[in-house]
């Protein structure tokens, strides 16, 4: 039994969906569960819609119409005008119509999950319909009934026992009948509200299904030849890893390597299931294999960039030392506001921390911290992490930039730059 995950870049247009079907045809002799992300940049567009709705901006309906038009343009390229999928997609978008016709009342993170999740629901319905059209018999599955989470919106915590019980109860029988197509990124609460698992969480979804079903492997299909030492959008001389160990992959994702969601590896490691990262444009290419005994060969350092960062420094109001009691209070506020630390540094009088900027969470955190501490911060920064670094690499990457924080250990260097 195999689990495939297709990301947004691989299904960004009609050609991508046709290519997905051609990849699937090569594996028709296997039981196959397919996890799919929202198409192209749909998640970004839905995030813009969420912000416009919460702010009641004038451009809200324009953004929404653009999202719908993008999907219906793809439908017209793939199906005859009277195909039933047109009504299915229209009915799915009605969920957004119902939400945005009323003024926002709920918490931002709750609204975010209910709106942004439509991207995966739409993409999987289109792909399921197209696979059936191509005689690739499949069952569309609403993942929200199988991946159960708590009520932590935008970062749903998976309830593993309940999730595996649901998956093992129903999915094997469905796989016996044909392919199963479902959504990445999404979960459901006991009250039947939608949650998301964290940005780029579709990889995590695939690993959850694989672990519960004891899959032979997980393959995540990307627009790159495998896992590279750096993002090819920013670096031209990248090299591909043929193999990586679970532990090295976990380190890379922890520091922000975007090719795999940070939570993906652990369920696979526990179940001894290999993860293959392969290019969807060349299915026969070997890609990268992540496994227990994977060989880590570093011809070049691993470079990871995280943009849109905040560097925040906290100090006591009476200039006293930052003690363990202070740190306990500070970390409690970070956890309470769902802010994850990317790098931190402590001095006698201050505690500095770098993290991703999410406006709603940042404002809440800032207000909480300022009640008992002095706070200074900079936004719009970049965090550069170099695994297995060389001194010349660090100098090259920081040349011409202002270094606001630097931390170097045996295997990893991190700098926050402006």
Burial zone of 99 (CB within 10 Å; 0-12 exposed, 13-18 middle, 19+ buried) = middle
Q: What is the pLDDT of residue 40?
A: 97
Q: What is the pLDDT of residue 295?
A: 83
User: In the chain, which stretches have pLDDT less than 50?
Assistant: none
Q: What is the pLDDT of residue 236?
A: 86
pLDDT in tens, 115-132: 999 999 999 999 999 999
Q: What is the pLDDT of residue 253?
A: 87
Which domains are present in the chain?
2-291 (3.40.1160.10), 302-417 (3.30.2130.10)
Q: What is the pLDDT of residue 284?
A: 93
Sign of CA dihedral 245, 251, 257, 263: positive
Q: Which of 105, 263, 94 is nearest to 187 (CA)?
A: 263
Residue 389 to residues 220, 245, 297, 414, Cα–Cα distance (Å): 28, 18, 13, 10
Distance CA 311, CA 373 (A): 16
């Amino acid at each position: 039994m195999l689990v495939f995950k297709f990301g947004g870049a691989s299904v960004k247009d009609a050609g991508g969906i046709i290519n997905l079907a051609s990849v699937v045809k090569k594996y028709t002799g296997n039981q196959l569960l397919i996890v799919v992300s929202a198409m192209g940049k749909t998640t970004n567009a839905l995030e813009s819609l969420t912000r416009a709705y919460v702010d009641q901006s004038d451009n809200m309906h324009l953004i929404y119409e653009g999202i719908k038009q993008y999907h219906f343009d793809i439908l017209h390229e793939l199906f005859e005008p009277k195909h039933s999928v047109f009504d299915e997609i229209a009915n799915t978008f009605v969920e957004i119509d119902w939400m945005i016709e009323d003024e926002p009342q709920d918490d931002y993170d709750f609204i975010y999950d209910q709106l942004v999740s439509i991207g995966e629901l739409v993409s999987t319905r289109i792909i399921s319909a197209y696979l059936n059209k191509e005689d690739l018999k499949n069952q569309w599955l609403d993942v929200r009934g199988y991946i159960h989470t708590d009520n932590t919106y935008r970062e749903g915590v998976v309830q593993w026992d309940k999730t595996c019980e649901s998956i093992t109860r129903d999915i094997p029988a469905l796989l016996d009948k044909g392919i199963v197509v479902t959504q990445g990124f999404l979960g459901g609460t006991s009250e039947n509200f939608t949650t998301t698992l964290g940005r780029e969480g579709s990889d995590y979804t695939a690993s959850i299904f694989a672990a519960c079903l004891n899959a032979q492997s997980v393959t995540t299909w990307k627009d790159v030849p495998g896992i590279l030492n750096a993002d090819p959008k920013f670096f031209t001389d990248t090299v591909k890893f043929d193999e990586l160990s679970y532990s090295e992959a976990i380190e890379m994702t922890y520091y922000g390597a975007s090719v795999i969601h940070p939570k993906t590896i652990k369920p696979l490691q526990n179940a001894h299931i290999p993860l293959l990262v392969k290019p969807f444009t060349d299915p026969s290419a070997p890609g990268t294999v992540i496994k227990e005994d994977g060989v880590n060969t570093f011809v070049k350092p691993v470079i990871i960039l995280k943009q849109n960062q905040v560097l925040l420094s906290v100090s006591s109001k009476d200039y006293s030392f930052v003690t363990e009691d202070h740190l306990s209070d500070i970390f409690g506020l970070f956890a309470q506001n769902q802010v994850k630390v990317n790098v931190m540094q402590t001095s006698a009088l201050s505690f500095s921390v770098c993290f991703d900027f999410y406006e709603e969470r940042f404002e809440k955190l800032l207000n909480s911290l300022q009640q008992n501490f002095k706070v200074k911060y900079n936004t719009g920064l970049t965090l550069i992490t170099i695994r297995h670094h060389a001194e010349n690499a660090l100098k090259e990457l920081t040349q011409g930039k202002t270094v606001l924080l630097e931390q170097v250990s045996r295997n990893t260097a991190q700098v926050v730059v402006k």
